[in-house]
Structures are given as structure tokens and as C-alpha cells.
């Protein structure tokens, strides 16, 4: 029988037409050559053609580049042009080459080459932290470290700085003793301490058979000192091509010099304007020093060629980005024609015309929505594929998550590389780490941990299911206690996760539910994990038990095969979980509690989103979201450079300011304390990064920012003006997003609008019916929102399964809640019961501080100067959106301190207590109501009667006509009347009145005195006009109304002064903004 073989199908590859500059590079006869290649000038094509020409002439060049993706692309293109494969890899990364050299020659040099594993940057930082901790255990006094760094020693930031010094030392070819010598010469004792630490760190690497990247290059250079190794390599590779030369660090440059020798064949291709990896040790001036470092055989500087024709984009994008490049430094040593050719490339006739838009928005939310809208418009109206578009940002951790959420919500398919986000921050990893953390401890988790686990994929509940579970447990507990008050739902859920038998008790008392079953499964799983840890299981075993013991893997597997957005999310989650198991597998020698703790510490320590093992998980099916650093070497038809804010881009913060690794540099013939990066050099690096981002676009470039009014964080970057493109301010949100949900909303609006023609309304109804009947590939509804059965308002108003307050419990109210409820029941319910209010603003934060200071002043009789000092101490710990807001509030806060001091010094009343809490049950309409609160200041006047003071720090003052019926003061007076403060008053219950002291507002005619509003005594004026005279006081009447609203759950919206500050006005029925009629 004839043999059967496989033969690769030949592919016709067109030979590219090269311009004159490219042809000069291809025909370069030998020796060193520097090629300056700007964006889109055909750098890769030129490199491929030059290598192919060498291979076809029987020579064996080696190509070195900086990423696995770039190396693979070069190999594929070279192989395609040749029509055959080569005997040895023609293109490799620097680190792949060095690793191959260690595997091949390391054994002869005493290295264990083949067994060495490379550490990722996060893993290296973890090793540094562990080694530092080990040193501290043996020497708690840290005698080898200077005093000024000892306080920072245990922190992650310090470990990161130590790692940077280690990397920089190896990039400069320094051994530990060299680093100590450099420290002594420079007067930097902390470097000497790092030098001592370096010896132990290298021993740890050798013991674990691992290497970091800088150490890998350093050891490869050591191998090249062997004449036989060097001669072997020079015989095998008779020419060296280096891609992206501007990204080389000093050790890599030295490696290249070692390989080629004086006058050797080396062609370096790069762009000084795209040198953006200074944080990895690359030096922007390195590429410009190439002609002097790599001289020809006769000692002349290496020749320089500039590629002067751009094919990526047309004149509009070229002009805008050229304005950026012109602000970047370029060595005057370059020949003038080369500089001009490099900086002013001409657009090829085939290049697209292009478009550049600079847009500003009112908020980050509006920015994200408009970005989603323009991406959808480009896809739907212009036919640009999702994968042909990208959104680039400066910071992955800060900028990517909100954009991912906004674009996904708008129906834009997005893809984010796995290594853009630290592994511990991955949504799929967080619940597993939390479960491990809980399993490590005996007993029950805390309430927050319990809630997060229950609503995670491990627990399988949603927020509604969590509430149902809590109510079920409370009802069971109430039955067991014979009607007594049970613990809160959160507390019972927490206790039950630590004691699964509680779920069994609840099921026996009230019957089974899905929520009980899933919660019990989670509790048993946590108990099993704890048992496995205590019996000496490895981190991998415990992790597998948690992962495989739930329905989560099956759900992810089903989603992965389903296609569409669910499949993309499932694939990303699975990749992250696999990466977590990879780390666990490498920790298999650590067992039991200590082993799991070490594993978790390693994962949590990985604050650097840079694990290249996850860099290939992008499938090319959606819009790419990535950082500008990751976009290097890529291009798309449409690019959005987003969130270009001053303070964020450029980011001019000084990093590594304690150990100052960036100042460890070459000086003359040695190494010592260099100047480090100046402010202008840091700005230049940020400008180069922005230039790289903008030059990724082939046809359409959008640059976006937020221009708000709340402080410096909302100011567009200076880089926007440097593009010299008119800025277009965009107000509001997109009128109607191009999504099916928005289309349904527009059709519904038209269908019910009586102002529209009948024919148009009928047409809208017909289209809604068509959308409601449409099915997707699986037979399910394509547009569920078009089905009237799903519309809000088509069903009767529902009521909660459980009342707001159980019938057998008293209504509980505070003084402020009483006022809020009567002012607007809807706002009270949404903010206080549903917890729907947004975060506190800066004025509220300052108010809390002032209340604490006022209380401290009253208790300890401190002076105004001491209060201001305390204010300064506390203020540093407060978090404001911008420095501007902090400064404004700080001035206001000091003025409030001064007004308090003026008010307090004028008082003649006796102080009985401050921040006096109370709980008082009163009977109203035959039912108990529990009043709670805390009085800022309780005083006694000369005749013995009580007086209540409440401090306010808000900007809005009440109408004086409203003060007599101010509910909060009324509740405080009622509490005093009913004996809530008897322990302080000696049984005195008569009241003289109450007052509001507005510390932020000045009394008319007296800048240093606060505004004061006085409420009459409840003894003297128990009733007000319009209140129920059958109630004991007007306060009882107000409490009666509020309790009735809560019992009947009648939370209507009311228009009033508080509407100006309401968080829910956008959906308020009283404002005409309700969702349904």
C-alpha cells in the first residue's frame, strides 16, 4: 500500500514593492546599520525582505524582537516569503534566545539550563517579598538597612522598589559587590543594603531553579565570555537584525555588542519617538547612541537610513501626530537629511485620507456612552468590523473596567487580554480566593464575606435570593425563640455558613427552598475545604475541591459553547481560573495551612498585570480594549484614545522615590548616582506613549476626555491641544444609542405619543410586534424587550413578600428619618430602606469630621488652636476627588471651627453631655414606635430645664417659619420629656427648647458667629396649627403620620426644597420622570 504523507499547501505570496529607503536596507552589504522607521513606514516589511534576501543568499541571520507575538509574526512572514521553513528559528525574543543559550550551553558552564523556569514579574515580586520577610524574621532590627527605609520595609511598595533596583543592577551588569561599591561611591547606604540582600535573593532563585528576566540576560552574557560559545554562535548566525531597538535596556545592548563584535553585521530597526518602556529599563537615548556604539570596521559611526513613506494613514492623521513628534527630542548628531526624512514622512498614494476628532464630555459616564455609540455607528453604518476597532487607555487598572462595563452594557462586544488585569483582580478568581481565605480560619465568615460568597458563582444566589434566604433564616429563628427578636439576616447567614446544621433546622421548620439548598452546599464545601487544609492538603487540592464542588464549571462550559458575549466572558473566566491553577500547581511542595497561606500571598502579591502566559487569549471577535503600552506594534481602522485627562496622561508622578532605582546609572567608566529622569524627560516619555496610541489608527482617530467642573481630575490633558485639532465639546448623553433596547424604547415612545400621526404610531406598533416575534439561532426571543408582557406598567403594582417592618415589630424612627420621611416618603424609602443613595460628597465628609472635633472640644476643653491642629491631622486621611476640593473644604472647615469656638464661648448653659444616644419606645395610636438617635449637645439652663443643641454643617439653611415644626428637634425634646436622659439629668424632664447651630453659615453682621435657629419648648407649645389636637403633642402627630406610611407602605413622591439634592429625581413621578404611566 502506498505511503500517505501530508504536504503543506503552497501559498502564493506577493513580493512587496519597496521604495528607495527600504531597498537600501535590503541591499545593505554588511556591518552596522541603524534604520529609523516611524509608524506605518513599512518597518516589518523591510525587515522581512532583508532577512529573506540573506537567507536566499545562503546566509543564516538571526532576528531578535521583544514580544512572542511579534516574533511569531516575523517567523510566519519570513516562512511565507521563502515558501519553506528554516532549519533554525529565524526570529526570537531576547529572552527566548537567552533561555535557549542557557539550555544549550549552561551545563558546561555549571548552570542547570534545561530545568530553569522563568518567573513572571508578579512572581518575581513575590519572591522578593518572601525573601525580605525571611531576613526580617532573622534580624528584626534590620541592622543592615538605613533608618529612613526601615518603616517602609514590610510594605509591598518597598518590595517593588527593591525589585526595581535588582533589575537595574543586572541591566547594568552589576554583581552584589558592585552594587555595594556603587553605593559607597554615591553615598547611598540603601543600595548597599540591597546589594547584601541581592546575594540571598540569588541563592533563593538558584535553590528554586528559577530566573527572572534580567538575571536571564545577565547569565547569557556570562556564557558569551566563553570564547568557544561565542565562536559557535558567530559561525551559526552571520548577521543580526534587531526589531524595536528603542526598547532595549543596557544589558540587552551589551548582549548585542558581545554577539556581533567590532564592525559586525547588525541592522537595528526602531523609532526613538516610540520608546515607551523606560519603566522596564529601556533608555530613550539608546537608539540614538547606536551609531557611536556600533561603529564600522574602520571605526566610523554606523550609517543611518530613515524610512520616509507612511502607508498606514493619510495626511490628516499624519499631520496631527507630527505635531506631537515635533515636541520630542531628537539627537542633533543625526544627519540633517535623515532627521527631516524621519520626522516628515510622506503619505503613500494608497494610504486612506483619514479623520481625526478630539471630543470632550461632561462626565466619565457620558464619555463611555458616547464611545459605545460611535463604535456602534461605525459598525452598523460604515461596515467597520468589531475587530477592526480598538479603545486605548493610559492605565488598565483605572480606566479599563468602567469602559468594559459601559461598552458591554451597550451591546458592543469587547475583548481584553488576560494580562491587562492582575490575576487577583479577575472576577472569576476573586470568589475562589475569598473561599480559600474563609476556609483557612476556624468558625464562621464575617457578614460581608458571607454575602459575597453566597452571591458569587460558588454560592449561585442573586441579590434577591440572598434576601429570601435571610428572611427564611430569620423566620426560623423567630419560631425557635418563641417570638423574640432574632438576629439580623446578615448575621444569621454568616453563622449558618459556619454551621451547616442551621440550614437543616430551617428546612425542618419551614420546608425546603432552592436558596437553602445552595447555601447548605456552599457551607458544606467550605467545611470540606477547611478539613482538607487541616489534614495537610496542598493549595492545588483545596482549590480543586472548591472549584469542582459547585455547578459553576458546568455553567461556564455551557456558556463557552453557546457563542456570543456569554462565550467570551466564559472563556475569559476559564483562562483566569486556569492561570490560578498554574500557580497552585507550582506551590505543590507547600502543604497545610502554611502552604495555602503562601499560595494566597503569592497571588495577592501579584499587583502587576503582566503574566504573559495569558497574553494570547484574545480571539479577534470584538473591539479590543487595552493600554497604550500593549497596543505597540498593532493597528486598527478605527481607534479611540480615551480618558486623556491631565494628571492621568501625562502621569508625571515620581516612582520609586525611596530607593531611586532610576538614578543607578553609568557615569564615565563606572556606575554611580546619575541625575535620574527630569520632569521634562518624564513628560517626553508620556508624550511618546500618547504618540504611540494615536498612531495605531489607519483611518479614524478619536481622542476623548472629560471636561467637568469638580476639580483638576476633570480637566483634559495638555496633549489634546498639541494635536492642533479643534476640540468638540459634546453635551449630554447620546440621544438614542444604537441598540435594540434603545430601538424598542423609541418605538414604544412613538406608539403612545398622541402628538404623532396615526399612521406613524401604527407603523411603530407593527415593528414592535415584528421584533417581539423574532427569534435567535437557538429559537429564543431575539428582542425580549419588545414583548409587552415584559414591560413595566403592564402588570398590577406588586408588593414585597415581606413587609418593610414586620407586623410584630415596632416601627423604628430617628429624628432625621422622621423629617426625611414626611418631606418625601419616596426619597426616604429609596435612600434609607433600599440603600440606593450614591456615595457621600465632600461636604458630608467634612461635616462628619466637624462633629467629631466639636465633641472632642466639649469633652476635653481644648483651645481653638488645638482644634485646628487636630483638624490638620485628620484632614490628611480624607479622600477627595481633587486637591482643589480638599483645599476649599479645608478653608471652610477651619471657619466652622472658629464659629464653634465663638458660639461655645458665649454659652451660659451647663453642659450635661455630648453625642448622647437614646432609645425610647413611645405609644402612638395604640402601637409602639421606637425612637432612636443621638443628641449633639444636652444642656441645662439656670432654672434646671433641659436644652437640646444640634449642630449642622450643611450649606442650606431652613426657613425660619419651618423651625417651630422641625421634626428632629421635636423628637429630641420629646425624648427629654419622656426621660430618655434621666441618667444625666437626675430625673429632670422639663424642657426649655432646642436649637439648630449652622456652623457653615455666618450670622448676619458677625462673620465669626454661626447662624442659630431656636425651637420653642415642647412644654410651652405642645401643639401647632394644623396638627391633630387629640395627640399629646405635635411630635406625636408627626410620628403617627410616619408610622402609618410605613405600615401601609405608601411611599409617595412629594415636591419640596429637598428635590434639589435628591439622588432619585431622574426617575421621580412628581417631577414627570417616572418610568411607567
Task: For the chain, count helices (H), then strands (E).
Answer: 39, 25
Instruction: Look at residues 406, 375, 377 and name the one whose alpha carbon lies nearest to residue 388.
Output: 375
Q: Dihedral sign, CA of 297, 299, 303, 304?
A: positive
* All cell numbers assigned to 771: 421584533
CA distance 41 to 313: 10
Provide long-range contacts, Cβ within 8 A and 24+ apart, for 1040-1045: 1040/924, 1040/925, 1041/822, 1042/811, 1042/813, 1042/818, 1042/821, 1042/822, 1043/811, 1043/813, 1043/924, 1043/925, 1043/927, 1043/929, 1044/925, 1045/821, 1045/825
Q: How far is CA 346 from CA 244, 310, 634, in A?
A: 22, 6, 21
Furthest CA-CA distance within the chain: 121
Query: Is 42 marked within a binding site?
Result: yes
CB neighbourhood size of 1014 (10 A): 15
Instruction: Look at residues 129, 59, 36, 662 and name the one whose alpha carbon lies nearest to residue 342.
Output: 36
Buried b / exposed e over 150-181, threshold 16 CB at 10 Å, is: eeebeeeebbbbbbbbbbbbbbbbbebebbbb
Query: Is 669 marked within a binding site?
Result: no
CA distance 677 to 663: 8
Strands (E) in 395-490, as ranges, are: 414-415
Query: Is 90 marked within a binding site?
Result: no
Query: Is 40 marked within a binding site?
Result: yes
Query: Is 38 marked within a binding site?
Result: yes
Query: Is 37 marked within a binding site?
Result: yes
List CB contacts of 789: < 8 A, sequence separation 6 or more: none
* All cell numbers assigned to 200: 540571598
Query: Is 708 marked within a binding site?
Result: no
Instruction: Look at residues 703, 27, 692, 695 and name the one whose alpha carbon lies nearest to residue 310.
Output: 695
Spatial strand order of the sheet with 62-65 comes to 91-93, 62-65, 240-242, 266-270, 32-37, 304-307
Query: Is 470 marked within a binding site?
Result: no
Q: How far is CA 837 from CA 823, 829, 847, in A?
A: 16, 10, 18
Strands (E) in 66-203, as ranges, are: 91-93, 117-118
**Chain centroid to CA 639: how far?**
21
CA distance 386 to 379: 7
SS3 category, 240: strand
Q: Which residue has the cell 478619536?
A: 702
Contact 832, 820 (CB under 8 A): yes
DSSP designation for 833 = I
Q: What is the DSSP string of 272-330?
A: GGG---GGGT--TTTTTTHHHHS--TTSPPPPEEEE-EE-SS-HHHHHHHHHHHTTS--
CA distance 714 to 984: 50
Instruction: Look at residues 837, 475, 477 and name the one whose alpha carbon lies nearest to residue 829.
Output: 837
Beta bridge partners of 355: 700
Buried b / exposed e over 275-305, threshold 16 CB at 10 Å, is: bbbbebbbbbebbbebbebbbbeeeeebbbb
Beta bridge partners of 664: 673
Contact 220, 98 (CB under 8 A): yes
Q: SS3 string of 977-1021?
A: HCCCCHHHHCCCCCEEEEEEEEEEEEECCEEEEEEEEEECCCCCC
Contact 56, 86 (CB under 8 A): no
Residues marked as binding for ATP? Answer: 37-44
Residues marked as binding? Answer: 37-44
Amino acid at each position: 500500500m502506498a505511503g500517505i504523507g501530508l504536504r503543506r499547501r503552497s501559498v502564493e505570496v506577493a513580493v512587496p514593492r519597496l521604495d528607495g529607503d527600504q531597498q537600501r536596507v535590503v541591499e545593505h552589504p554588511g556591518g552596522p546599520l541603524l534604520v529609523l522607521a516611524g509608524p506605518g513606514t513599512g518597518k516589518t516589511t523591510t525587515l522581512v525582505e532583508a532577512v529573506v534576501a540573506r537567507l536566499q543568499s545562503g546566509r543564516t541571520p538571526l532576528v531578535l524582537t521583544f514580544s512572542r507575538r511579534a516574533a511569531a509574526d516575523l517567523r510566519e512572514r519570513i516562512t511565507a516569503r521563502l515558501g519553506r521553513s528554516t532549519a533554525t528559528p529565524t526570529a526570537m525574543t531576547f529572552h527566548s534566545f537567552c533561555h535557549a543559550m542557557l539550555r544549550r550551553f549552561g551545563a558546561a558552564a555549571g548552570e542547570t539550563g534545561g530545568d530553569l523556569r522563568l518567573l513572571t514579574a508578579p512572581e518575581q515580586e513575590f519572591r522578593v517579598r518572601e525573601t525580605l520577610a525571611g531576613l526580617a524574621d532573622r534580624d528584626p532590627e534590620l541592622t543592615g538597612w538605613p533608618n529612613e527605609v526601615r518603616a517602609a520595609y514590610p510594605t509591598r511598595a518597598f518590595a517593588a522598589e527593591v525589585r526595581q533596583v535588582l533589575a537595574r543592577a543586572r541591566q547594568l551588569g552589576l554583581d552584589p559587590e558592585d552594587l555595594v561599591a556603587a553605593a559607597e561611591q554615591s553615598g547611598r547606604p540603601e543600595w548597599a543594603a540591597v546589594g547584601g540582600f541581592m546575594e540571598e535573593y540569588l541563592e533563593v532563585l538558584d535553590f528554586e531553579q528559577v530566573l527572572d528576566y534580567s538575571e536571564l540576560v545577565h547569565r547569557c552574557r556570562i556564557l558569551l565570555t566563553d570564547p568557544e560559545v561565542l565562536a559557535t554562535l558567530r559561525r551559526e548566525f552571520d548577521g543580526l537584525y534587531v526589531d524595536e531597538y528603542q526598547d532595549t535596556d543596557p544589558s540587552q545592548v551589551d548582549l548585542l555588542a558581545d554577539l556581533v563584535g567590532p564592525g559586525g553585521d547588525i541592522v537595528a530597526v526602531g523609532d526613538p519617538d516610540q520608546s515607551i518602556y523606560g519603566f522596564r529599563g529601556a533608555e530613550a537615548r539608546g537608539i540614538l547612541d547606536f551609531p557611536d556604539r556600533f561603529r564600522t570596521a574602520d571605526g566610523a559611526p554606523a550609517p543611518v537610513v530613515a524610512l520616509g513613506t507612511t502607508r498606514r494613514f493619510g495626511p490628516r492623521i499624519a499631520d496631527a501626530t507630527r505635531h506631537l513628534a515635533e515636541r520630542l527630542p531628537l539627537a542633533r548628531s543625526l544627519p540633517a537629511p535623515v532627521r527631516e526624512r524621519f520626522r516628515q514622512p510622506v503619505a503613500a498614494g494608497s494610504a486612506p485620507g483619514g479623520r481625526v476628532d478630539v471630543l470632550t464630555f461632561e462626565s466619565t459616564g457620558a464619555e463611555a456612552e458616547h464611545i459605545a455609540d460611535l463604535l456602534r455607528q461605525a459598525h452598523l453604518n460604515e461596515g467597520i468590523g468589531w475587530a477592526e476597532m480598538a479603545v486605548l487607555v493610559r492605565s488598565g487598572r483605572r480606566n479599563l473596567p468602567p469602559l468594559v462595563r459601559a461598552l458591554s452594557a451597550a451591546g458592543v462586544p469587547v475583548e481584553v487580554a488576560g494580562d491587562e488585569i492582575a490575576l487577583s483582580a479577575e472576577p472569576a478568581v476573586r470568589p475562589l480566593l475569598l473561599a480559600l481565605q474563609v476556609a483557612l480560619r476556624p468558625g464562621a465568615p464575617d457578614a460581608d464575606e458571607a454575602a459575597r460568597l453566597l452571591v458569587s458563582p460558588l454560592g449561585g444566589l442573586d441579590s434577591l435570593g440572598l434576601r429570601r434566604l435571610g428572611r427564611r433564616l430569620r423566620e426560623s429563628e423567630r419560631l425557635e425563640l418563641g417570638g423574640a427578636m432574632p438576629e439580623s439576616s446578615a448575621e444569621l447567614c454568616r453563622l449558618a455558613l459556619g454551621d451547616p446544621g442551621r440550614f437543616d433546622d430551617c428546612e425542618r421548620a419551614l420546608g425546603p427552598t432552592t436558596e437553602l439548598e445552595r447555601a447548605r452546599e456552599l457551607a458544606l464545601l467550605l467545611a470540606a475545604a477547611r478539613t482538607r487544609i487541616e489534614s495537610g492538603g496542598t493549595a492545588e487540592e483545596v482549590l480543586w475541591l472548591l472549584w469542582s464542588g459547585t455547578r459553576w464549571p458546568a455553567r461556564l462550559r455551557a456558556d463557552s459553547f453557546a457563542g456570543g458575549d456569554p462565550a467570551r466572558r466564559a472563556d475569559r473566566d476559564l483562562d483566569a481560573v486556569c492561570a490560578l491553577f498554574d500557580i497552585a500547581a507550582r506551590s505543590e511542595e507547600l502543604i497545610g495551612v502554611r502552604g495555602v497561606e503562601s499560595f494566597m500571598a503569592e497571588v495577592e502579591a501579584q499587583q502587576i498585570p503582566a503574566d504573559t502566559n495569558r497574553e494570547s487569549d484574545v480571539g479577534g471577535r470584538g473591539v479590543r480594549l487595552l493600554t497604550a503600552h500593549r497596543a505597540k506594534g498593532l493597528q486598527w481602522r478605527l481607534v479611540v484614545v480615551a480618558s486623556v485627562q491631565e494628571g492621568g496622561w501625562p502621569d508625571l508622578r515620581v516612582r520609586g522615590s525611596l530607593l531611586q532605582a532610576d538614578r543607578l546609572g553609568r557615569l564615565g567608566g563606572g556606575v554611580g548616582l546619575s541625575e535620574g529622569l527630569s520632569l521634562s524627560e518624564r513628560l517626553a516619555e508620556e508624550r511618546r506613549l500618547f504618540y504611540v496610541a494615536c498612531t495605531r489608527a489607519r483611518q479614524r482617530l478619536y481622542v476623548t476626555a472629560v471636561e467637568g467642573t469638580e476639580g483638576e481630575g476633570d480637566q483634559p490633558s495638555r496633549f489634546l491641544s498639541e494635536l492642533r485639532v479643534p476640540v468638540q465639546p459634546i453635551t449630554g448623553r447620546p440621544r438614542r444609542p444604537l441598540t435594540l433596547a434603545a430601538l424598542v424604547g423609541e418605538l414604544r415612545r412613538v406608539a403612545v405619543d398622541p402628538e404623532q400621526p396615526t399612521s406613524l404610531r401604527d407603523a411603530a406598533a407593527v415593528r414592535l410586534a415584528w421584533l417581539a416575534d423574532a427569534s435567535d439561532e437557538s429559537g429564543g426571543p431575539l428582542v425580549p424587550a419588545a414583548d409587552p408582557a415584559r414591560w413595566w406598567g403592564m402588570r398590577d403594582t406588586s408588593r414585597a413578600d415581606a413587609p418593610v417592618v414586620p407586623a410584630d415589630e415596632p416601627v423604628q424612627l430617628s429624628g432625621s428619618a422622621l423629617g426625611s420621611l414626611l418631606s418625601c416618603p419616596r426619597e426616604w424609602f429609596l435612600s434609607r430602606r433600599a440603600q440606593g443613595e450614591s456615595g457621600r460628597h465632600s461636604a458630608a465628609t467634612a461635616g462628619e469630621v466637624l462633629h467629631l472635633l466639636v465633641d472632642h472640644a466639649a469633652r476635653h476643653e481644648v483651645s481653638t488652636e488645638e482644634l485646628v491642629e487636630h483638624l490638620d491631622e485628620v484632614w490628611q486621611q480624607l479622600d477627595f476627588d481633587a486637591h482643589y476640593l480638599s483645599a476649599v473644604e479645608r478653608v471652610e472647615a477651619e471657619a466652622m471651627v472658629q464659629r464653634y469656638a465663638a458660639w461655645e464661648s458665649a454659652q451660659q448653659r451647663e453642659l450635661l453631655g455630648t453625642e448622647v444616644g437614646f432609645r425610647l419606645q413611645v405609644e402612638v395610636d395604640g402601637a409602639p414606635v421606637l425612637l432612636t438617635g443621638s443628641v449633639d449637645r444636652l444642656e441645662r439652663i439656670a432654672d434646671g430645664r433641659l436644652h437640646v443643641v444640634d449642630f449642622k454643617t450643611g450649606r442650606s439653611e431652613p426657613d425660619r417659619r419651618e423651625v417651630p415644626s422641625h421634626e428632629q428637634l421635636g423628637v429630641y425634646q420629646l425624648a427629654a420629656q419622656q426621660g430618655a436622659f434621666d441618667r444625666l439629668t437626675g430625673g429632670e424632664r422639663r424642657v426649655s427648647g432646642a436649637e439648630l447651630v449652622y456652623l457653615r453659615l455666618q450670622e448676619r453682621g458677625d462673620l465669626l458667629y454661626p447662624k442659630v435657629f431656636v425651637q420653642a419648648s415642647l412644654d410651652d407649645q405642645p401643639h401647632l396649627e394644623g396638627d391633630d389636637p387629640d395627640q399629646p403633642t405635635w411630635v406625636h402627630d408627626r410620628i403617627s403620620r410616619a408610622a402609618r406610611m410605613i405600615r401601609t407602605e405608601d411611599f409617595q413622591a412629594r415636591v419640596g426644597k429637598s428635590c434639589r439634592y435628591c439622588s432619585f429625581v431622574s426617575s421621580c413621578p412628581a417631577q414627570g420622570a417616572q418610568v411607567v404611566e
